[in-house]
Structures are given as structure tokens and as C-alpha cells.
A and B are shown apart, each in its own frame.
Chain A
């Protein structure tokens, strides 16, 4: 990579189911303002803007990027919107990086918002993402597509529902330390097991909340960032992999052909880790902010990221490996199981990672964290992004 890119400011609003006090545009404005203030900058300092928004059907506006130009500090500036389903926040952060790395812009604002509280049911819309010729009639949604993943992982590794429950317990407990988090609770495994079965084997507590809110990140060219009043976080490595929509094409168990494994994320880190000089992620990564909207998703992600061997994430969970006081804390913010403002869940992971490595994560700080990984996921587990962020 030729030009160094830093993260010099972040902003997040509190995530809740509904945000009835603001319009979508106003949410974008809030996050923009928060991030710019955090960076000690004003809108005129922004050279270009990347909007992190998808899918807009969740809040009912075609081309919402048009509406929020002003709110995103982008008036008469170069602005574009990224849209890759759930991966949007991660992809938008990558687009922000490329804007700076291109050499054309020094300061780039990446901002997005989610307002799924304006629609009565998220899954109604997430049913419509399915293939219209062959899969729409089957009542699928994000939960069922994940259920297929759980079923495969359970078959291959003997993963149990109780083991998956540990992910929910840990995430919602961590969220108690995060001022922005939506769902915060001290569950027990039993609470999770007793929660309503939605799509077998996934129960209510295995699933994310519907969250609304906004997030923004300010990126800056390295030489300029070094002159800011506070040491920034550095984007050391990044990559993305997309794959087929067809879950049915990925059920043979062969590499890249297994819905129960995230081989595509493993492929992405094969590129991202060397960029960051990481050879042993299980030792060199201090904290992971993983976009895992379901318990099983976090299991698959940790294994694909090489934070542990395939099939071992659950047994390590039983030993407290991923806990705040464990060897490799995952989602100190509570992650997507606590807050899932879809347009920006991936961007919030980047923001949280940046806060962690600069020692600004307050009550959810992982002591001595220097290197973090942030991921995002979209589609039928087909769009994967990863970023390595360090001090």
C-alpha cells in the first residue's frame, strides 16, 4: 500500500429499535457531527464523503443517498454511496480507505444510518432479498438462511445449541459496558435455551435486535493524521471476498463450497493479514470486533479469521477464551447481537476497533489492545469484508 490511511475520529449514536425523534436525514447529520467533533474538524475540512447505507427498503426511501447529501457534510463535494447488504459498513470503510489511498483526497468522512424502526417488520423485507424464480415462495429470511448454516456446522463439528448460547450470553453482557448498545442483559445459557424457537435451531436470543441509529468514521492521510492532536488508529490491512448467492451450491463440504464455513473470509485474511504483518492471528490480534448477527455467525467468523482452529471456537468459548478477561476478547461492544443497525453495523465494528487500539474504549476497553480486526458480512453470507486496525 502506497499511502498510509488513519482513522482520526469516530461517532456513534445510541442504538434503539426506533428513533422517532429524528428523520433518517437527521440521524446521518448526528453521526457526521459526532465524528467530526471527535476528530476536531469541521465540515469544510472534509474532502470527500462515502455513505454507508443498505438496504434502503428497511426505511422506505429509494436512493436515500440523494436525501442525505447535506447531512453527510457532502454539499458540492465528491460523494458516493456504498451498498452491499449487511456488509455495507465494512465495504464503505474500505471505500473510504481507497478514497484517501488514491492520493486525491486527504480527509474523508464515512457515514451511514439505519432506521428499521420505521418499518413494522424487518424480516418481511429480508424475505424479499431471495431469488425471485426459485426461492421467494419458501418463507426464507435472514434467520432461516443462518439456520441452514447452524445445521451444517452442528453436523460437521457436533456444535450444540448450548454452545451457541454462550455467544449470546457473552455479547449481551459485554454490551452493559457500551453506552451505545441496544440490547444489554445478563442472560444465562438457560435463558437463551428457553427463548422462543424461531427457525430451528435458532431461538430469539440467538438473533440480533432490530436497531436504528447512526455511525461515522473520519479517515485521513497518514502524514496529515500524524499532525493531529491525538495519535490515530491505522488501517494496516484490508480485503474483501464475495461469493455466490446460491446456498445450494455450497453444501458439498468442499473448500468454498460449504455454507457452514466462512472460507471466503479466510481467503480475505490471506490477503489482509500479510499487509498488516500478521502471521499468527490467534496470538497477534488483541481484540476482534466481528459482525456476527447470529450466534453461529460468530463461531464461523472466529474460525475463518484463524483466531482458533476450525471447529474449536465453541470449546474455547466454554473455557472463557473469548471473554473480556480471556485470551482474545471478541465484541467488547456487544457486537451485532446487541446492536444491529444494519446499514452501519459493519462501520461500527471499525469505529470500535479504532477506539480499542487507541485506548479510548472506556468501560469496554481491552487492556493493552494494539491490534484489532473488524469484519462485516452481507447477503446469504456471501459478502465478507475485513480490516486490520492497529495503533
Chain B
């Protein structure tokens, strides 16, 4: 994919457990304003808006009625997707590729403190066969782990190390919510909530919003001398029916990654990519994602983790921002990953900067057991 879509503005609110001083609209406005300011654009100059949000998390059907204008949509062409934050970037990117728009403001958010997010995920279980079993995003993930365990054994230590690593990284990210270090034993001894998933294997929820400004090649050159180009993007979804999936294989993620790699001309991701911001919504998920991204072979994630390749000082640091383990703004998470990857390419990631980052991978995930995934490759 030629350099046709650039990230030219990045805005994030601080991620906090609870943001009672701001109503949701104000949080969205903050992220959108920050991205515009970073891009050096005023709202008038932006041609299109793309937002990602979910009604049940936000607490109102058609939640965008209130949030669209907070995201800059007043008298603008605005559209909303619901899968998760990175999908707003996907759609905004398509709109720019079409040639109809030169700029797009992309915004996503979650205010997890205002509702019971786990319960909300339970309503994504269809009411005929699975809802009465209490299926939710925790129990679904746990079932995926029993399949992985059956094939390769449960990588408990490696999963705990994911949490340790990401929390340690978060200490260097001033926007992150949870920045105190954690020890492997704490994770491995935490309460079992849905066997074999333990409480500290689950990314802690938080409030926050994230926004990006995207621009066409022509416009990006006017706005900045440090555009972050989208080199490749792919997205795909697996079947909804957990009983029909080889869950640990995460085929939709493999699929999305292959599409992104192909557009970006990457044949060996481990060699070609300098860092990755991926979904650690669960500790084990990060390990499964290594495998699905082709960074290591299926069943090898535990050994791969033990080699330290994905630590800050390793060959392919993963989640230098601290990931969702440092605070999970649920639906916005994938857009945050993309924002963090872009900051790295710009050399603006501050204390958690990876030196010489030229090509980064960002991933967003949604649905039970990561049913759907998006993968972005961004670079200088």
C-alpha cells in the first residue's frame, strides 16, 4: 500500500479508574480537542468524523446522539462503527483512500466506571442457547484457555510475566492508570474467577478516550513533516459460535495480520517490525496473539516469552505503553494501541520510547475470544 493515509494528530485523555468530574461528552471532547491541537487543525478544517462506541457501555441506545458533536461532528459528515475503537480508524482510512475526504477525526471512548461492563458483555450472548449459562467475555476466554491447555499446557508463568512486563512498562507512561509494579506470584495466586482465568489475568477497566487525525498524502504534507503512514491494514471476523471455532488458533487475527503484512510488504514480522501494541485484555491473550501474528509458532508462546524478546529491551518490545493491563478503556482499546504505535514512530513516546522505531504493529480485538480483529502496520 503506497503512503496514502497518514496519522497527523494524536490525542488521549489520562486513563483513570473513575472520571467523575467529567460527563462522558466532556471526556470525548477532551480527546478530540487534543488530537486537533496536535494536528494543528481547527475543527472547521476537518472534513469527516468517524467514531467507535457501544450503546450498552455508554448507557443509552443510540449513544452517539450525545457524543457525535462532542467528537467534533457539528455540521460535519460523521459516521459511527461499533466493533471497537480501531474500526473507526479503518473506516476513516477507507474514506480517505476513496479520494472524497482529505482529513478525518477519529474518536473512541469508554467510561467503564458508570456500569457493570462484565454484565454488559453477557448480553452479547444470544438469548437462546448461551445467555442462561452466564457466558460473558471472561467465561468465554476461560474456555479458550482450556482448549489451549489441552493442546500445549497452560502457560501460567508466561501469562503472569505478561502482566509483570506490561505493568512495569506502564510506570513509564504518564497517561496510564495502573502503574505500580506487580509480581508473578501475585498474578498466579490471585483468585480464580472463571477457571483457569484468575482475577489478575484480566485487564483492569478504566475511563478514557482517544482520538486521531488522519490525512491524505497531499494534506499530510501540508500539516506535518512527521506523518505516520499507515503501511497496511487488515480486519476480519470469525464465526460467532464458539463451539465451531478452533479458539486458540485465532484465525480472524491471523487473517487480519496477513492482509496487513501483505499490504505493507512484510514477510517476516519478527524481523521487520520494531514494536507491537496489541491486545492484552487478558494476560494469556497476549501470548496467543504472538502466535497468531506469526511472531512464534503455535504452542511456543511460553518459550518465546521466556526469551525476553517482547520485553522493553528485547528485539520486539510488545506493549511498551503498558497495554490494557495498565488500564483498559474497553471499547477504545484498539485505537489507543494505534495511537501509542504512532507516538513511537514519531519518537514522541517519552519515557516509554523504543529507540529507532520505524515500523510498528497495532492490533484491536473485539467479541468473545477475540472473534474479530484489526491489524495496522504504521511507519515513518
Do the two chains touch directly in the complex (Cβ atoms below 8 Å apart)?
Answer: yes
Contact surface of A with B, Cβ cutoff 8 Å:
1-3, 23, 25, 54-58, 60-63, 65-70, 74-85, 91, 94-95, 97-99, 101-104, 125-126, 128-133, 239-245, 256, 264, 267-268, 378-380, 382-383
Given the contacts A57-B61, A63-B366, A242-B73, A76 and B79 also touching, CB distance less than 8 Å: no
> Closest CB-CB distance, A53 to chain B, in whole Å?
8
| Chain B residues with CB below 8 A from A70, complex form | 239-241
Determine the residue in chain A with the shortest Cβ distance to B122.
A62
In the complex, how many angstroms separate the beta carbon of B17 from the nearest chain A beta carbon? 21
Pick 9 A–B contacts, CB within 8 A, sort by A.
A60-B123, A62-B54, A63-B366, A66-B366, A69-B240, A77-B236, A240-B77, A242-B75, A243-B74
* Residue B234 CB within 8 A of the other chain: yes
- A83: contacting residue among B59, B81, B93, B121, CB under 8 A: B81
A67's nearest neighbour on chain B, judged by CB, is B240
* CB–CB A126/B61 < 8 A: yes
Question: Which one of B23, B61, B90, B124 contacts A125 once the chains associate, using CB atoms below 8 Å?
Answer: B61
Distance between Cα atoms of A69 and B99 in the complex (Å): 29
Given contacts A63-B54, A81-B81, A95-B79, contact A379 B62 (CB under 8 A): yes
Residue on B nearest A49 in the bound complex, by CB: B237
Distance in angstroms from A384 CB to nearest chain B CB is 10
Chain B contacts with A in 114-128, Cβ cutoff 8 A: 120-124, 126-128
- Bound Cα distance from A21 to B343, whole angstroms: 51
Q: A78-B236, A80-B83, A83-B82 are known contacts. Are A242 and B367 too (CB-CB below 8 A)?
A: no
Residues 294-340 of B contacting A (Cβ, < 8 Å): none
Smallest beta-carbon distance A377→chain B, Å? 12
Q: Is B141 an interface residue (CB 8 A)?
A: no
- Bound together, the chains give a CA A368 to CA B234 distance in angstroms of 43
The 6 tightest CB contacts between A and B, nearest first, are A101-B98, A62-B123, A102-B97, A55-B61, A85-B62, A57-B61
B173 near A: Cβ within 8 Å?
A: no
Residues of chain B in range 66-102 having any CB-CB distance to chain A below 8 Å: 66, 68-69, 73-83, 87, 90-91, 93-95, 97-100
Inter-chain contacts of B103 with A (CB < 8 A): none
Q: Which residues of B come within 8 Å of A, CB atoms?
A: 23, 49, 54-56, 59-62, 64-66, 68-69, 73-83, 87, 90-91, 93-95, 97-100, 120-124, 126-128, 234-241, 251-252, 255, 259, 366-368, 371-372
Instruction: Report which of A65, A76, A101, A130 forms a contact with B236, defined as CB distance below 8 A.
Output: A76
Please name 15 further chain A to chain B contacts, defined as beta carbons within 8 Å, in addition to the given A65-B82, A242-B49, sorted by A numbering.
Answer: A56-B56, A63-B54, A66-B124, A66-B366, A66-B371, A66-B372, A69-B239, A70-B241, A76-B237, A82-B82, A84-B80, A101-B100, A130-B60, A240-B77, A242-B74
A69 touches B235 (CB 8 A): no
Contacts of B239 in A (CB 8 A): 69-70, 75
Q: Which of B98, B120, B121, B240 is the one whose CB lies under 8 Å from A2?
A: B98
Of B61, B77, B83, B99, the residue contacting A1 (CB under 8 A) is: B99
